[in-house]
Structures are given as C-alpha cells and as structure tokens.
Amino acid sequence: MLRESSTAVVARNETWTGASATEPYEAGWATEAVIFVRALKPAKGAMPQAFVEISPDGMRWIREGASLTLPSAADELAVARFQHFGNWLRLATELPDGAECTVLVTLHLK
C-alpha cells in the first residue's frame, strides 16, 4: 500500500499581529512533517521566529524544538522540518508591537 501523504492549509490569508498561532491540527497518523510559511503581502516591522509546538491534548502547548523566521517579502518562504511529534501540531509566534504579516501556512505530512 502506498504511504499516506497529505497537505493541510492551516492558515490561509491570515493577518497575524501580537501572539498568533495556527489552529490545532491532529496528525498522529504521520511520522514526519514539513511546515511552510509563505508571506502573501510585504510584512510590516521586524519578523520574529515562529515555533513548532506540540501538545498532549490540543489545548496545552510546548515547543517541539523546530523553528523558522517568518518571511518578510511577499511570496518569500520559510520552512521547518520535524518528526516524533505525537499527535497535535501548531505553529506559534509573537510579533512585536507594530509588526504584522499576512501568511499562508501549509503542513505537509507523511
């Protein structure tokens, strides 16, 4: 049987300011993940790091270890790869005052 593989769009055209995160996504069937962040518009201000987070229940979160710097220019990409994540996944960040980015975040699982 072919290995299961799936792409999930976990943030589409969302404008992030302050504390921001993708919606929780369950991926317990997968053993590896790649997450891309694409800037859909030029960002405002300095872009911080965003952190892959995992959770025992989809409600309480802890950093997994993988991270990326949010992209600044329109259509610029950032990526992180990780595995051994259990079930729940999200990408979380905190933008400084005045900073803003509009993102497309895609999760690629297999």
- Interacting residue ranges for other proteins, rule: CB under 8 A: 4, 6, 8-10, 12-13, 23-29, 40, 56-59, 87
Minimum separation from the CB atom of position 67 to other proteins (A): 22
Print burial letters for 8-25: b (CB count within 10 Å at least 16), e (below 16). bebbeeeebeeebbbebb
Q: Quick one: 46 or 104, whose CB is closer to other proteins?
A: 104
Please list the alpha-helical segments (H only) found in 19-58.
Answer: none
Q: How far is CA 63 from the centre of its chain?
A: 12
What is the closest distance, in whole angstroms, from the C-beta atom of residue 31 to other proteins in the complex? 14
How far is Cα 22 from Cα 15, in angstroms, rounded to an integer? 11
As measured in angstroms, the least distance from the Cβ of 18 to other proteins is: 16
Residue number with CB closer to other proteins (30 or 70): 30
